[in-house]
Structure 1
Amino acid sequence: MTGPEGVRCMLMRGGTSKGGYFLAEDLPSDPGARDDLLLRIMGSPDPRQIDGLGGAHPLTSKVAVVSASQDPETDVVYLFLQIGVDLAEVSDRQNCGNLLAGVGPFAVERGLVAARDGRTPVRIRMVNSGDHATVTVPTPDRCVDYTGSAEISGVPGSAAPMVIAFQQGGGPLLPTGHARDLIDGTPVTCVDNGMPTVLIAASALNVTGYEDPGELEADAALGARLQEIRLAAGRLMGLGDVSATTVPKLSLLAPPVHGGTVMTRTFIPVRCHTAIGVLGAASVAAGLCVEGNVGEDVARLPATGERLRIEHPTGFLDIDTAVDHSGATPAARGTAVVRTARKIFDGTVFPRPA
């Protein structure tokens, strides 16, 4: 804590999300007290989040809590927290690959990782899943440089590339053990390559998969059907009752229209993403590489070794991934993606009084 009321905070854009980045030591150690404080910092519960940092949308109501790692194999530990917008909820049931892009530069800025001259790799353990990733941060003259020519869909302008390499997770790529399951007559592929995700052909739900996100959100019948599928898929994937959680995500698949691999509309889980999350895209990409998946009739896979371009409402996201079919079950061999991040402010945030 920097004072009796203020809390040290860095607001950053990470990928196509935005959130508050905190050192764990600057927040209460008790999870309940921490979550209460973060709700007041972000301005929740309030659909406008008018009295806090939140941007009135799940993509801009996020928090990264970072600390030094005691494990010699990693540099820092990253806990992602999804802060409810109009509900007083704080969830740690998922990762966020977009905010992950900012964890690397944040760790260097806070002195948790010593900057190298040129590029600095930051090895990160993601608390939410136990998975590991390395974010390579541009550090010319041993200082973080956020400027550059890398562009990502959904973000205006360009910035320095933050290259994220994900290690293969310990859990199964196909949590149900099948490339295709049937939920109340709807074929789905349940996949987890960093984010539990349910793949569904858009045509199976009588939509095109090209609709505007707002149009899909306004379709009450579609929303009810997606919730039914999500609850059933959660049980099939070993996640239990997911009625109060944000996972699994659901991605509707349609043929690509801009030369990519597939067009997506992703629900997170009620709002329709205006783009697609990094880990969600990683799961979509890996799922499409599994023989017998529900996207075989709509996706156009590139040649072996080439990146998969996942199209979404505001552009695309390129993913390097491959699936190994040599074992008893398919397994992801590793995933890499280029994101950008930018420091917006670094200072003291004053939470709404308790």
Structure 2
Amino acid sequence: MSQTAIPFLFMRGGTSRGPYFRRDDLPEDLDQLAEVLIAVLGSGHALNIDGIGGGAAVTTKVAMLSPSEDEWADVDYFFAQVSVTEKRVDFKPTCGNIMSGVAPAALEMGLVNAKDDVTEIKIRAVNTGARVIAKVQTPNGQLAYAGETEIAGVPGSAAPVQLTFMGVVGSSTGAFLPSDKLQENIGGIDVTCMDVAMPMVIARAQDFGLTGHESVQELDSNLDFFKRMEGIRIEAGKRMGMGDVSKSVTPKFGLLAKAQNGGSIAVRYFMPWNTHPTMAVTGAQCLASCALTPGTVADGLLARSHESPTNVVLEHAAGTIDVLIDFDANNGFNLKAAGLVRTARKLADGFVYVPHTIWSQPKETA
């Protein structure tokens, strides 16, 4: 009996997927937890061949749930981004797509009880302190995955998961504009450094000689762009008070351009060392906020709405994502809440196994 069994759910949340655990089924110590998650996902190999990762950043994500320690919330959600090719785990960010699966997973795990028709679950994002209200379909008190809602980047349709994000301004740095400027120039490129749900460095695609409508493959093959972008991101991280971010996935990087297909603005989002195939939920909130804020690098790229709430339609590499922004524009831009609709589906459940040499505990082994 040389392996430790850990109960888990395997779920798609939005356009990401990964294992969902109860936090108390995993090591408390973060260093040991990282070793366990690296083993679970098979981190350190491009195919994650010795784990259940999918060989991409959007498929090496982990959610850990527990009854909330916050009086406001029902569930605490602790997120981990596990590297694909390096044996590294980042506990700093959160993930809004994986968040889409938190409420269904909490019901599956028995952390909360379903109500008739729609169940509202209050979630605290442990990594950032954000508060999120999730509404899931529970007709006759039974969790439903089937439905008619479609999201770009996921085939078919499923039941909607409605997410309302609050308390996301300054989620990582403590400030809406961590460098205290609407725009600044780094390496010859004008950027806006903003922290709404996810700290980001945002620039105009045209300033890099890009259209902002390139495919994921075209961008990923543009090594000169990535080299230049990473230098700007690292310097921006310092100016945002985040220290040396060379080995951290935050701040993320985003590009803006004029919309082509009827949306509000075109965007591309980076994770940060490759291009996101669709759009991150957290990044969408930051990019939408940047788009609505006068004086940012979004100036001239869209016709801004001054009515709140307003729907910002982001054109990304695989389609569009709508972000409903509730804001106050009386004194600059003040975000109150951001709403999005995603979908989720349980793919599998059971036990995932890690070698005893990684972690041994008194649970069922094989």
**What is the TM-score with the length of structure 1 in the denominator?**
0.95
Matched, 1:287 2:290: yes
2:185 pairs, out of 182, 185, 194, with: 182
Matching residue of 1:142: 141
What letter is aligned with 1:27?
A: L
Residues 39 and 88 of structure 1 are in contact (CA less than 8 Å); yes or no, is this contact kept in structure 2? yes
What letter is aligned with 2:16?
A: S
1:353 shift after superposition: 6.1
Matching residue of 1:237: 240
Q: Which structure 1 residue ranges, 4+ long, deviate > 3 Å from structure 2?
A: 300-303
Distance 1:53 1:149 in 2: 29
Matching residue of 1:52: 51
Matching residue of 1:201: 204
What letter is aligned with 1:342?
A: R
Residues 95 and 281 of structure 2 are in contact (CA less than 8 Å); yes or no, is this contact kept in structure 1? yes
Residues 310 and 326 of structure 2 are in contact (CA less than 8 Å); yes or no, is this contact kept in structure 1? no
Matching residue of 1:61: 60
The aligned runs of 1:49-198 (5 Å cut-off) are 49-169=48-168, 171=170, 172-198=175-201
Distance 1:254 1:150 in 2: 27
Q: 1:352 to 1:255 in 2, by over 3 A?
A: farther
1:270-313 deviations in Å (ceiling 9; x for gaps): 11011110010000001111111111222344573431100111
What letter is aligned with 1:36?
A: E
Matched, 1:14 2:8: no
SS in 2 for 1:296: coil
1:101 shift after superposition: 0.6
Distance 1:25 1:262 in 2: 42
1:170 shift after superposition: 5.5
The aligned runs of 1:25-40 (5 Å cut-off) are 25-40=24-39
1:169-193 deviations in Å (ceiling 9; x for gaps): 3533222222211112211111111
1:206 shift after superposition: 0.8
SS in 2 for 1:145: coil
Distance 2:6 2:296 in 1: 47
**What is the TM-score with the length of structure 2 in the denominator?**
0.92
1:227 pairs, out of 210, 218, 230, with: 230
1:310 pairs, out of 314, 317, 339, with: 314
SS in 2 for 1:282: helix
Residues 4 and 355 of structure 2 are in contact (CA less than 8 Å); yes or no, is this contact kept in structure 1? no
Matching residue of 1:270: 273
Matched, 1:319 2:318: no
Residues 260 and 300 of structure 1 are in contact (CA less than 8 Å); yes or no, is this contact kept in structure 2? no
How many residues align structurally? 351
What letter is aligned with 1:51?
A: D
Q: Which runs of 5+ in 2 are unaligned?
A: 358-366
Distance 1:199 1:102 in 2: 28
Distance 1:169 1:267 in 2: 20
Residues 285 and 319 of structure 1 are in contact (CA less than 8 Å); yes or no, is this contact kept in structure 2? yes
What percentage of aligned pairs have identical amino acids? Answer: 37
1:237 shift after superposition: 1.5
Distance 1:7 1:24 in 2: 11
Residues 41 and 352 of structure 1 are in contact (CA less than 8 Å); yes or no, is this contact kept in structure 2? no
What letter is aligned with 1:199?
A: I
- Structure 1 window deviating more from structure 2 (43-52 vs 301-310): it is 301-310
1:36-55 deviations in Å (ceiling 9; x for gaps): 11111111111100121100
1:76-119 deviations in Å (ceiling 9; x for gaps): 11111001111000101111000001001111111111111111
Q: Which runs of 5+ in 1 are unaligned?
A: none
The aligned runs of 1:333-344 (5 Å cut-off) are 333-344=336-347
SS in 2 for 1:177: coil
Residues 129 and 167 of structure 2 are in contact (CA less than 8 Å); yes or no, is this contact kept in structure 1? no
Matching residue of 1:217: 220
1:146 shift after superposition: 0.7
- Structure 1 window deviating more from structure 2 (293-302 vs 44-53): it is 293-302
SS in 2 for 1:6: strand
Distance 1:181 1:336 in 2: 29
Distance 1:150 1:221 in 2: 39
1:296-343 deviations in Å (ceiling 9; x for gaps): 22234457343110011110100001442334x632121000010000
Distance 2:145 2:42 in 1: 28
Residues 173 and 330 of structure 1 are in contact (CA less than 8 Å); yes or no, is this contact kept in structure 2? no
What letter is aligned with 1:274?
A: P
| Pairwise CA RMSD | 1.6
Distance 1:165 1:286 in 2: 15
Matching residue of 2:363: none
Distance 2:53 2:301 in 1: 37
Residues 74 and 112 of structure 2 are in contact (CA less than 8 Å); yes or no, is this contact kept in structure 1? yes
Residues 302 and 308 of structure 1 are in contact (CA less than 8 Å); yes or no, is this contact kept in structure 2? no
